[in-house]
Structure 1
């Protein structure tokens, strides 16, 4: 299976909505853990839960940060000392699933946690500073083709992460080896954005959803989004890599898991809250504000989706040489 097919499959699934629930869920001291520093995609994901679930839980959701290993510290903690914590959910993305597949989260697998609900879908974005010499994607692709190491690329993930894969896809499309990419890894999107603005890197392989506030400030410019088709406002004027002639696409599922030892009742309370939120226009408004497509899955539906996605990612990782066939 090609890299682009994963994005297409995820985008197609965005029409699926969970069934509504009613009432408020009783969750004591609800917490959303963003497993990175503030300012990146995990932060964005938790803010969706904090705002979007507010009418459906009877206490405010607190957002806390747990950086380390692009989610590895949190995944290990919620598989050990906090595995029975029913009050907390942890943000994840397609990149987290990729890290599980490639062994970056240790011996724990996708079967060791409980997958709760989604915040929506996001898309890869090729981002530069507003004053960059790169005015369009074609210029960057020309440099990738001529001399990949001449461009300093950075993102919130190590080699083999989904952010690295975004750059790898571009290099491959430019006829260069992904391993020739001059790549700088950061512990989260916030750190990578700071490096871009500070001039330490030239191109940031990020996610379009986290760009809303930065675009409004005029500090950065998106050369292209890795979506299957044009997005709605505020990204409607940004071309897709596909329409510019490059067969590159990356769709990011954003959502939440909790410790595998949480009780059925605790798990269901969170699932009910998400299902209730999905049925409201207010939650859709929160997703749109954060630049997310309303890909709404919770409980058993999400569990089945995760199993399928992990299998697809294993095929992709093998194709990229990240794991053995």
Structure 2
């Protein structure tokens, strides 16, 4: 039996629970994380890798962090350096789509192979504890007076927090093309800027700011979900009269040029990892919402997200 066929069969059995995870024999996985250490993609990629190794789904997982340009630098390295590699994975998500729309890089996500969406996470907006502003209402009032005086800090241009900031400006009657957005290459840089008072408002996935909110170093003023997040007493933007809702989903892609059989094998490997205790622990620890979607359905979702994000960004004056 060919190795690809064997792995495909084993993955299918493991994913359905018909085969113990310990019986899985898998290759050495290479994980491209197109961001600096410390952010959401890094956390997601390493949690997925740990689930694979802890669940005996992969012998080893190696990680390559390549941050910059909303993931476009890592995407370029992945597309150009992993062609035909059936063991290569790349973490990606909504942020990458936004970055491609605004940055127009020479490589395209369509050159890689869509595998699965994993999670969704809503953004939280925070103020430094020392800020004279106390609420989102205070931020909005200043935004209306002078959009450029509110310095928004977050991920790369085109990130969900960038789009949300532009949408907030639009909804409250400020000029979204005049918002002052400061993009950071990784979650660690953004956190340092917020704690240092170098930005007015910070935005990111809740899990990245949770420790600082808990110890009082940041004040959470709004979340971008439709309802309040479970166990988190932070009002939504909609509760505060701002009709904005946006989620930050994350997924994984395979290398360009892999065969349909290799794609199925790799997808089954990822889906099996999502059934492990290690992944369940990561979901709970990071307050991620499961949003699993795979195969052609995931590919269609990405295409639709591209179109939706582009329309929103054009309307908000970001493109």
1:61 aligned onto 2:57: no
Rounded to whole Å, the distance in 1 between the matches of 2:166 and 2:256 is 33
Displacement of 1:65 after TM fit?
1.1
Q: Is the 1:79–1:113 Cα contact (8 Å) retained in structure 2?
A: yes
1:43 aligns with 2:48: no
> Structure 1, residues 42-91: CA drift from partner, whole Å, max 9, x if none?
11221331233331513243333111222111111222122223322111
Which SS does the other structure have where 1:64 is aligned?
Answer: strand
User: Cα distance 1:197–1:259, how it changes in 2: closer, same or farther (>3 A)?
Assistant: same
User: RMSD of aligned C-alpha atoms?
Assistant: 2.4
Match of 1:178 in 2: 176
Q: Distance in 2 between matches of 1:307 and 1:157?
A: 21
Counterpart in 2 of 1:80? Answer: 80
1:317, 1:147 → 2: CA distance?
21
SS in 1 for 2:55: helix
Equivalent-residue separation in structure 2 for 1:266 and 1:213 (angstroms): 40
Matching residue of 2:313: 317
Structure 2 match to 1:224: 222
Q: Which residue of 1 aligns with 2:151?
A: 152
Q: Please name the residue that 1:212 is paired with.
A: 210
- Relative to structure 1, the CA distance from residue 178 to residue 48 in structure 2 (aligned partners, 3 Å threshold; closer, same or farther) is same
Secondary structure of 1:157's counterpart equals coil
SS at match of 1:131: coil
Query: Aligned partners of 1:244, 1:73: CA distance in 2, in Å?
Result: 37
- For residue 269 of structure 1, what is the aligned residue in structure 2? 265
Instruction: Tell whether 2:245 aligns with 1:249.
Output: yes
SS in 2 for 1:291: coil
- CA distance in structure 2 between the aligned counterparts of 1:145 and 1:71, rounded to whole angstroms: 32
1:96-140 deviation per Cα after TM superposition (whole angstroms, max 9, x unaligned):
12223345332x334211112223001122122233223221111
Q: Retained in 1: the 8 A contact 2:161–2:204? A: yes
- Higher Rg: 2
The TM-score, its normalising length taken from structure 2, stands at 0.85
Q: Distance in 2 between matches of 1:184 and 1:101?
A: 18
When residues 145 and 68 of structure 1 are mapped into structure 2, their CA distance, relative to the original with a 3 A threshold, is same
Q: Structure 1 unaligned segments of length 5 or more: list them.
A: 1-18
More helix by share: 2
- TM-superposed CA distance for 1:273, in Å, is 2.3
Match of 2:130 in 1: 131
C-alpha displacement at 1:227, in angstroms? 0.4
CA distance in 1, matches of 2:66, 2:276: 30
Using the size of structure 1 for normalisation, the TM-score is 0.83
- How far is the alpha carbon of 1:322 from its aligned partner? 4.4
Cα distance between partner residues in 1 of 2:155 and 2:249 = 16
The one of the two structures with greater contact order (alpha-carbon pairs below 8 A, sep at least 6) is: 1
Q: Go from structure 1 to structure 2 and tell me whether the alpha carbon gap of 1:321 and 1:148 turns closer, same or farther (over 3 Å shift).
A: closer
Show structure 2 runs of 5+ residues with no match: 1-13
> SS at the partner of 2:253?
strand
Aligned to 2:191: 193
